[in-house]
Every structure is written in C-alpha cells, then in structure tokens.
Amino acid sequence: MKTVKRASVLAFLVALFLPGIAFSQTDPGVQGGPARAGSPLASVNSSDGTLQFFQNGQARFQDIESVSNSPTGNNGLGPRFNFVQCSGCHLQPAVGGTGPATNPQFQVIANGFVSGSTNAIPSFITANGPTREARFPFFFDQFGNPNPNAPNGGVEDLFTVSGRSDAGSCSLPQPSFALAQQTNNIIFRIPTPTFGAGLIENVDDSTLLRNQAANANNNLGISGTFNHNGNDGTIARFGWKAQNKSLELFAGEAYNVEMGISNEIFTQDRPLPGEDMNAGLPASCLNLSGSGYPEDTTNFTTKAGSDQFATNASIPSDTVMFAMFMRLLAPPTPSTTTPGGATSIANGRRLFSAIGCATCHTPTLSSTQASNFTASLGNAPANAFSDLEIHHMGTGLADNVSQGGAGGDQFRTAPLWGLGQRIFLLHDGRTRNLLSAIEAHESNGSEGTQAELNFDQLLTSSQQQDVLNFLRSL
C-alpha cells in the first residue's frame, strides 16, 4: 500500500514537472557542422577575374602584419593595434565572419605579436571570451575622473608595438584600461560578420526608405531612422551604428583603427583620442615601416604571371582588396532542418514575424541595384534580417558612444543572417545565450520592449523554442 502511494506521488510529481521540462525553451546554441558561410557569390568565377580578386582579397585578409622588415612586405602595423590580422577576429564560422571561440587577442604575447614586457593583456580579454575593441565613452579629467561633459567614444587600441624587435625605439603606454573599468568608463564592440556584405552595400536608399514607410504603422512602439554619410548625405549602413557608407570605407577605417595601418582612405598613423589634441604620436613611433605614408598603397610594380587576372588582383591596395573580398562573400546559407526540425523552424519564422521582431529585423530587403561588380550582387534580394535603420535600444544596451547621427543608445538593427553559427551576441559580446540577447531588447527607452514582451510574456514555451530554433537555423 505504501509502495502504491509512493508511486502515485511520484507519478503526480512527474506529471507536474515533466511538461515544464519538456517545453522549457533553451538556446540551441552555436550550430556545428560545416560553415554555412565563407564561399564567394555564385556568379564569382575565374573567367571574368572575380574569383581571382576574391581569392587575393581572402589571402590578404589572412596576412599577418608586421611593423617593419617583413619578408612578405606586410609592414605598417601599429604603433597601436587590436590585432595583427583581419581574420584573427573575423573568423567564425569562416574567414570574414565574427570572433572565434578561442580569442587570439589573449594569445598575442604568447605568439610574439606583442611584447610582454611593455604590454599586459587587459582583464576583459580572456582565453575563450569575445574578441573586442574598447572605447572610453568620456575623456578623463586631470585627476583621473571620467568627465561626462567631454565625450570621447574613440577606439582605445589594446596593444602597442613597443618592445617588438621590429618597432625600433617606439615607446608607448597602453591606455588606462583598469581605471576605465574601475570608473565604468569603458565599452566594448565585437567584430561584425561580413558575409553578404556586398548585397547590403548594393541596396539602394529608396528601397530602405520604402521599407521604413511600410513598417511605419506597426503598433509595436517602433520607429527607427537612418544614419547618414557625412559627405553625400546618403544612408550609411556598416558598423554597429551604421556609421560607414561603403565596404571600402569600412575596410580603410578598420585597417587604420584596429591594426594601425595607414592607407589610401585614412592616410596617417592614428593617435589615441586625446593624444591627437596634445602632441600626437612621438616621432619615434612614426613611419615605423620606413616606407612613408600611407603604409598601404596601390602596388604600382607587380610581377607578371601567367594568369592576367591574378596579376591584376595584386595591383590594388590591401584596403581595396579587403573590401572586394567582403563584397564578393556570399550570404550565409540557412538550414531548413536544424536545429529542431523543419516544422519548428518554419513555425518559428512565422512567429518571429507575428510578434514584431521582423519589423526591425526585416527578413528581406526586396532587391539590390544592378551591379557593375558581379551578377549575383545585382537585382537580388538581401535576406539580411535587418532594416539597416538605427533604433533606440534603451539604457540596457546604451554604450554612450555617438557615431555620426547615432546617439548613445542607437544601434543599427543587427543583420541576423548567419546567427546560427555566431558565438558571441550583442554589440559587446556580453552573452552567448540567445535568450539573454533577446531579453536585452527591453529596457527604459528601447524600441524593442513591446516585441520582446510579446516573445517573453505572450508566447508559450513551445512557441519560444520554435523562434529560437528558427534563429539558430540562420
């Protein structure tokens, strides 16, 4: 009798908790298997030279840069930098992507890229954490207090070339990361993946404006705007705040800011914010490559080879070829079956739209312009899951950095294509958990609060799981 009673109680408890366990929604996590991205666009081929340009750009994207005396000629690194190689940070799940699982910035001393006697690994760079750049939202005053009346926001490079054997007598300190952390005066950004970037570049402004107008009456509290290029006033679209107009500008800025290499767009070595208003970089840290400025230029003399296209591809500067590589990268290929199965993914896609996520994360921007680069870039849909608008994301995500027309809480709608194989989420890589990333969409001042509430409060656990499966299928 006692045994029967115990069994009944057990059965009751199982009945009570099992549904909860069965339907408890979880992030399916980073999808393994082959990379769903990293290949060139379908129209890229060797007979018109686009493949040779793609391959050349891809190879340069993986070059390890030196300060001077590199046998491969990859000189110009520093005097400050975040890493020595584009693909070090743009690697997940393939070259051109976002930060990898093992952080190469943590290994810079061990790998000899940085001198351990003059540099320390900042505490926010960890072995398995996100690759990051750091910014101080505000300048410090003369006493070491952050001054809210003096906005900064520029990148504070993590490392210096000081102490490297190829850096001469250049001696530079690292920024005061510990003080910045102690005073909450530091924010982080992780690398944006570049798959499909050529399609984003080739979406005409009028398409974006039509999409904005079509989503205007959304009953969700959402009303975004655009960041604009300061030169011609057209819509900018690359970077976490959509601060860059084109891939070439994006590449030129990254080469200069992240790796310290001057180029045809950003023609000088970059001092830190504040340093530029003082004495600038010391003379001993200028022209370290010995070749003058800019360090990355068009290659006027090239060796002729049997493949004329390959020879042609060696002529443009690194910046141009980085941009070309990114431009010709195909968008990620979503899975129709994993995780969760085809039915769950299809259901999740409809739910994603129904609860309002698709208002900002526009599944498809209808069509690109005709392209003069390659056929796949022209008259094609951009399934980026982004409206490329900037939206107020509230105090929970605000980084207090202004870029162009974007204020401290405004961010470009992050394109979600390829999300299934991303490890670190949100602009600063603060979480690996998709549920946490969704949760972060609600806070005071955020346009995402209602849609997040719909997901979090009004869907069943099973429906939420479908949405998560769909997102990780991308």
Partner 1 sequence: MLTSLLRFLTFLGLSMSLLAQAQGVPQSGGDFSNNPEAKKLPTGVLLVKGAWSSASDSVTPLPEGGRVDKNIYNNPYFGFTYALSPDWVEKFSGPPPSDSGYYVLAQIRPAETFKRARGSILLAAQDLFFTLTPAGNALELVNFAKDKLSPDYKVEQPPALVTIAGHSFVGFAYGSPVAELHWYVLATQIRCHMVQFVFTSRDDKLVESLIHDMDKMTLPAEAGPISGRGGGDVPVCIKDYASGENVIERVPPVFAERRFNPVPVRIIIDKEGKVKHVHFLSTFPDQAKAISDALSQWRFKPYLHDGHPVELETGILFGRAPRLATSPSTNAGTE
Shorter beta-carbon distance to partner 1: residue 248 or 452: 452
1 touching partner 1, by CB under 8 A: no
CA distance 325 to 90: 12
153 touching partner 1, by CB under 8 A: yes
Choose which of 28, 146, 196, 340 interacts with partner 1 (CB under 8 A): 146
Provide, rounded to whole angstroms, the least separation between the CB of residue 286 and partner 1. 18
Site string for partner 1, 201-240 (x = CB under 8 A): ----xx--xx-xxx-xx-xxx-xxxx-xxx--xxx-----
Provide, rounded to whole angstroms, the least separation between the CB of residue 442 and partner 1. 6
280 touching partner 1, by CB under 8 A: no
Q: Which of residues 47-106 bind partner 1 (CB under 8 A)?
A: none
Shorter beta-carbon distance to partner 1: residue 166 or 456: 456
| Whether the Cβ atoms of residue 386 and residue 395 lie closer than 8 Å to each other | no
Q: Which of residues 338-367 bind partner 1 (CB under 8 A)?
A: 347, 350-351, 353-355, 358
Provide, rounded to whole angstroms, the least separation between the CB of residue 51 and partner 1. 37
Site string for partner 1, 239-278 (x = CB under 8 A): ---------------------------------xxxx-xx
Q: According to the 3-state scheme, what is the secondary structure of the chain?
A: CHHHHHHHHHHHHHHHHHHHHHHCCCCCCCCCCCCCCCCECCCCCCCCCHHHHHHHHHHHHCCCCCCCCCCCCCCCCCCEECCCCHHHHCCECCCCCECCCCCHHHHCCCCCCCCCCCCCCCCCCCCCCCCCEEECCEEECCCCCEEEEEECCCECCCEECCCCCCCCCCCCCCCCHHHHHHCCCCEEECCCCCCCHHHHHCCCHHHHHHHHHHCCCCCCCCCCECCECCCCCCECCECCCCCECCHHHHHHHHHHHCCCCCCCCCCCCCCCCCHHHCCCCCHHHCCCCCCCCCCCCCCCCCCCCCCHHHHHHCCCCHHHHHHHHHHHECCCCCCCCCCCCHHHHHHHHHHHHHCCHHHHCCCCECCCCCCCCCHHHCCCCECCCCCCCEEEECCCCCCCCCECCECCCEEECCCCCCHHHCCCECCCCCECCHHHHHHCCCCCCECCHHHHHHHHHHCCHHHHHHHHHHHHHC
Provide, rounded to whole angstroms, the least separation between the CB of residue 235 and partner 1. 7
Shorter beta-carbon distance to partner 1: residue 103 or 359: 359
| Whether the Cβ atoms of residue 157 and residue 259 lie closer than 8 Å to each other | no
Choose which of 117, 142, 306, 372 interacts with partner 1 (CB under 8 A): 142
Shorter beta-carbon distance to partner 1: residue 10 or 178: 178
Shorter beta-carbon distance to partner 1: residue 50 or 347: 347
Shorter beta-carbon distance to partner 1: residue 258 or 409: 409
Choose which of 30, 311, 396, 461 interacts with partner 1 (CB under 8 A): 396
**Which residues share a beta bridge with 244?**
238
Provide, rounded to whole angstroms, the least separation between the CB of residue 156 and partner 1. 7
447 touching partner 1, by CB under 8 A: yes
Q: Which of residues 173-192 bind partner 1 (CB under 8 A)?
A: 175-177, 179-180, 182-185
Q: How many CA atoms lie within 13 A of 135 on its CB side?
A: 21
Choose which of 267, 312, 314, 402 interacts with partner 1 (CB under 8 A): 402
Shorter beta-carbon distance to partner 1: residue 321 or 406: 406
Q: Which of residues 105-134 bind partner 1 (CB under 8 A)?
A: none
Choose which of 376, 463, 465, 469 interacts with partner 1 (CB under 8 A): 463
Amino acid at the residue 378:
G
Which segment (38-46, 321-329, 332-340, 450-458) binds partner 1 by CB under 8 A?
450-458
Handedness of CA 433, 435, 440, 446 (dihedral sign): positive
CA distance 268 to 16: 67
Shorter beta-carbon distance to partner 1: residue 3 or 232: 232
Choose which of 137, 193, 252, 340 interacts with partner 1 (CB under 8 A): 137
Provide, rounded to whole angstroms, the least separation between the CB of residue 414 and partner 1. 17
401 touching partner 1, by CB under 8 A: yes
Provide, rounded to whole angstroms, the least separation between the CB of residue 21 and partner 1. 20
Give CA angle at 411 (410, 414), nearest 5°. Answer: 160
394 touching partner 1, by CB under 8 A: yes
25 touching partner 1, by CB under 8 A: no
Instruction: Tell me the site size for partner 1, rule CB under 8 A.
Output: 91
383 touching partner 1, by CB under 8 A: no
